[in-house]
Amino acid sequence: MEMGYKQKVQQRKLVLKMMERSVIFFDIDGTLLNHDKKLPASTKEAVFTLKEQGHEVAIATGRAPFMYEELRKELDINTYVSYNGQYVVLNGEVLDTNPLSIPALLKLTETALVNDHPVVYMDHEDMRANVPEHSYIKESIKSLKIDHFPAHDPHYYEERDIFQTLLFCPEGEEKQYEEVFQDFDFIRWHPVSCDVVPKGGSKWRGIEKIVEKLGIPKERQYAFGDGLNDIEMLSMIHHGVAMGNGEEEVKAVAKYVTKSVEEDGILHGLKMVGLL
C-alpha cells in the first residue's frame, strides 16, 4: 500500500515536471562558441543543468550537421536545426527536410561562374565546391575553424538533396542574385560568403516543426542568437535572447539582450529569463 502511494507521488511529480518543461534553442557561432570557436565552461555547465532539470535543449544553426558533431557529443544534444531550418532532427531522428530547387540552383551556378563567384553544394553528409580552389572559399571556411574543407566536385548536386549552398561574393554583390533568383533567400554570414536557402527557409521554420512535435507551449519556448540569420528566430519565438556581441539588428528584435559570449552571456541570459 505504501509503495503504491509513493509511486503515485513520484509519477505525479514527473508529470508536473514534464508540464513545466521548456525548450531552449542555441545558435552556435558567437552564441555557444566564442570568437575563438571555444565553448565557455560556464555555457557547458549551464546546458547540462538545463538538461538535468528536464528541459529540452536544442541547437539552431546555419551550419551543416557534419560541422558540429563534436559539439553535439560534448553537450549530449540530439535535437537540432541545421542549414537555417532546412534539415531538422528531433532526438536523433530526421523530422523534416527542405531541399533547394535544383533547376534554380543550376541557373544560379551559371551566373556565379560568369561573375567569378564560386559556390559550394551542401547535403547532410558533406559539401563540394564547383571550382578547384578560390581565395573566397579558403578565407570564409577557415574562419569556422573546422576540419572539413570542400573538395572539388561540380556535379555534387546530382542525385542528392542539397539543403544549402554557399555563394562566395563580397558584401553587397549578392543583391544582383536576390533580384533574379526568387526561389532563394540569401543570408550573409561572412564578408565574402552568403548562405543560399529556399525562399522562406529560416531557423524559425525548423523550430516550428520541433515545438509542434514536442507540444511545448509558446510561453516556454526560448532561443539565443547573435547573427543576421537569427533575426526571424528571435523575433518570432516567445522568449528571444540576443547576445551582447550580436548585430544591432538582432538586438533590436529580441525580447532580451544578455552579455557577450566572452562574458558568460549564456549563463547570464538563462538567469535573466528565469531558467536558472
**DSSP per position, 81-102:** EEGGGTEEEETTEEEEE-PPPH
Position 10 scores a pLDDT of: 61
What is the three-class DSSP state of 248? helix
pLDDT at 17 over 80: no
pLDDT at 160 over 80: yes
| CA atoms of 252 and 257, how far apart (whole Å) | 9
Position 12 scores a pLDDT of: 52
pLDDT tens digit string along 89-139?
Answer: 999 999 999 999 999 999 999 999 999 999 999 999 999 999 999 999 999
Confidence class for position 188, pLDDT limits 50, 70, 90? very high
Position 189 scores a pLDDT of: 93
Confidence class for position 1, pLDDT limits 50, 70, 90? very low
Catalytic residue IDs: 27
Position 148 scores a pLDDT of: 86
pLDDT (average), residues 234-248? 97
pLDDT, the chain, mean: 93
pLDDT (average), residues 243-252? 97
| CA atoms of 105 and 86, how far apart (whole Å) | 15
Q: Which triple of cell numbers denotes residue 273? A: 529569463
pLDDT at 19 over 70: no
pLDDT at 20 over 90: no
Which ranges of the chain does DSSP label H, i.e. alpha helix? Answer: 2-19, 41-52, 69-75, 102-114, 135-143, 175-180, 203-214, 231-236, 248-253, 265-272
Rg (CA), the chain: 20
Position 44 scores a pLDDT of: 98
pLDDT (average), residues 67-79? 97
pLDDT (average), residues 46-65? 96
Position 16 scores a pLDDT of: 46
Position 143 scores a pLDDT of: 93
Q: Domains in the chain, start-ordered, CATH in brackets?
A: 2-98+202-272 (3.40.50.1000), 102-198 (3.30.1240.10)
Position 18 scores a pLDDT of: 52
pTM: 0.88
